[in-house]
Amino acid sequence: MRRAAARFAVAAALLTAALVLRGPSFVPAVIDIDEGLYMLQAREWLRGGLPYVAAWDMHPVGAPALFALAMALFGDGIWVLRALGAACVGATALALVTIARGGGVAVAPAVATGLLYVAGTTLFGGLATNTEILIAPLTAWAMALAAQAPGVAPTMARIAAMGVLIGVALLIKPVVVFEGSLAWLIAIVPAWRAGGLATGRVLVLAASYAALCAAPSVIVAAAYAALGAWEAFLDGAILAPLRYAGGRVPALDALRYVTAALLAVPWLAALAAIGCWRGARGPRQAGLRGVAVLWFAATAAAIVAPGQFYPHYFLLALPPLALLGTLGARAVARGIGARHVGRIAVAVLVFAGLDALTRMAVPRLYDPAGLTRPDPVRAVAAALAAHVAPGDPVWVVNYPPVVHVLAGAGLATRYVFPQHLTGAHAAVTGIDADAEVRRILESRPAALVVYRGWWLQVRPVLRPMIEAALAGSYARAAEIDEALGPVEIWTRR
């Protein structure tokens, strides 16, 4: 009973820490533009329009499904999504505490591991509730189950729980396949090598695990087929990601992005390196180090696989880095001859976490949007809502699509993400994007939203087309100052 109460207290503390340390996420309407796309997909889904059909994207439907669930329960406020993100971060932190404790780490440093992860998620755009934040509790708890009782044959129930967790995570982001495969190996290989699992049993468990991992995606695909939307699903969920992965950045650019990521968390990176080198003391900690190193390798593969290196991709590596950082902090404490290794290790981890929080807070304080001056995204949405009726079709040419949700505006096209239609990633849609733009303009939406600060990101062939439509059929109704230039709202004459 006391053990359950202590575990509940730790869980409550980690969730509270996630809410407090991620508090700045509740201020701006936009932290990462992807988040607004999932929110818009979720809104359309709640209105009866399927993802890919009503609002197109090249990600699986898991993120908009979780957003839709949260919005159905609590409404469509930005705070709902950010609270969902904090809950996911708290759940991931608790999984890391569980793994650390299983690896022979004392309670205080184990809890500090979770707090270090929470602090780390405030970087790399992690204040947004993005896919990496959503999948982390699923993969971390699957890893916790896999690392439980190393060398002991896993029960079917444990394998089933892991399969369900990874299956749901795959429905959010396919790169989970690397962590899912590793979790399986960690659960099976030690027991098999020790003679605790016969080869036939391994095959049965493998088939069961694979089936459970695939089940959520298969169910969604079957649902789309039953609803007559198989082609939309095939294009958005399967073909578009393949088209996207074909455009890989050069190797030197990849090295530059990875270096920048390491420099963003220098103390965590240094502690993790020390943890790899001298972090293990005893067989349990050696096993923890092995799991963390392999886990980091799996997340590195997941980061590299898409061929692009957006900052939020690096959030995938934070859980294993936090575990290695804890082992590194203990090694530092032992190296300086500390009498109380655990306390010094906690102090080192707290320092690393505070460093991460400082790196997040400084640019936030320099940007007063939503603090001492209005949030421009909310101001744009309010101005748009004042000039168009609810549900009227609006084309947000090159600005965050969440404006549709905040303004209650309808869609002029299902290709609502600017980069997919007017920007550099138009080829990913698999359609004639220029023809879609012409169709939109010919349909004369109630309003167009144009961000001049991002105007040069609109493909050159489209700029004169859009300008001609504005001059001929629209009047500028409002202009809102943004960081890089004005946002113009044009209404139909």
Tens-place pLDDT, residues 248-284: 778 888 888 888 888 889 999 999 999 998 867 788 8
Helix (H, G, I), strand (E, B) or coil at 410: strand
Type of residue at 437: V
Q: In the structure, what pLDDT confidence band is assigned to residue 212 with cuts at 50, 70 and 90? A: very high
Phi, psi of 195 (to 5 degrees): 85, 10
The region, left, alpha or beta by phi > 0 then psi within -120 to 50, assigned to residue 117 is: alpha
What's the half-sphere exposure (Cβ side, CA atoms, 13 Å) at 319? 36
Decide if pLDDT at 246 tops 80: no
Going by C-alpha positions, the residue among 467, 487, 493, 484 that lies closest to residue 383 is: 487
Q: What is the mean pLDDT of the chain?
A: 92
> 92 and 136 in contact (C-beta within 8 Å)?
yes
Q: Which pLDDT belongs to residue 437? A: 96
More confident residue, 368 or 472: 472
Cβ contacts of 132 within 8 Å, gap of 6 or more: 126, 173, 312, 313, 315, 316
Q: Which residue has the tokens 């609502």?
A: 416
Q: Cα dist. 79→120, 386, 445 in Å?
A: 20, 23, 30
Q: How far apart are CA 206 and CA 188, in angstroms?
A: 9
Q: Which pLDDT belongs to residue 57? A: 93
Q: How far apart are CA 472 and CA 492, in angstroms?
A: 10
Decide if pLDDT at 448 tops 90: yes
pLDDT tens-place string over residues 397-446: 999 999 999 999 999 999 999 999 999 888 899 999 999 999 999 999 99
Q: In the structure, what pLDDT confidence band is assigned to residue 34 with cuts at 50, 70 and 90? A: very high
Long-range contacts of 41-45 (CB under 8 A, 24+ apart): 41/67, 41/68, 42/67, 42/68, 42/71, 43/68, 43/71, 43/76, 43/404, 43/405, 44/411
Q: Find the distance separating the first CA and the last CA of the chain, reported in whole Å.
A: 70
* Single pTM value for the model: 0.94
Type of residue at 425: H
Q: In the structure, what pLDDT confidence band is assigned to residue 336 with cuts at 50, 70 and 90? A: confident
> 96 and 319 in contact (C-beta within 8 Å)?
yes
Going by C-alpha positions, the residue among 93, 97, 119 that lies closest to residue 22 is: 119
Q: How far apart are CA 246 and CA 100, in angstroms?
A: 38
pLDDT tens-place string over residues 114-156: 999 999 999 999 999 999 999 999 999 999 999 988 878 899 9
pLDDT tens-place string over residues 54-111: 999 999 999 999 999 999 999 999 999 999 999 999 999 999 999 999 999 999 999 9
Q: Which pLDDT belongs to residue 98? A: 96
**Lowest-confidence region among 31-45, 157-171, 276-290, 466-480:** 276-290
Q: Which pLDDT belongs to residue 111? A: 94
For residues 483-490, give the mean pLDDT: 94
Cβ contacts of 182 within 8 Å, gap of 6 or more: 143, 146, 294, 295, 297, 298
Decide if pLDDT at 164 tops 90: yes
Q: How far apart are CA 100 and CA 266, in angstroms?
A: 22
Decide if pLDDT at 371 tops 80: no
The region, left, alpha or beta by phi > 0 then psi within -120 to 50, assigned to residue 370 is: left
Helix (H, G, I), strand (E, B) or coil at 51: strand
Q: Which residue has the tokens 């609270």?
A: 83
% of the chain exceeding 70 in pLDDT: 99
Helix (H, G, I), strand (E, B) or coil at 462: coil
Cβ contacts of 432 within 8 Å, gap of 6 or more: none
Q: In the structure, what pLDDT confidence band is assigned to residue 364 with cuts at 50, 70 and 90? A: confident
Type of residue at 364: R
Cβ contacts of 161 within 8 Å, gap of 6 or more: 142, 145
User: How many CB atoms are closer than 10 A to CB 324?
Assistant: 27
> 488 and 449 in contact (C-beta within 8 Å)?
yes
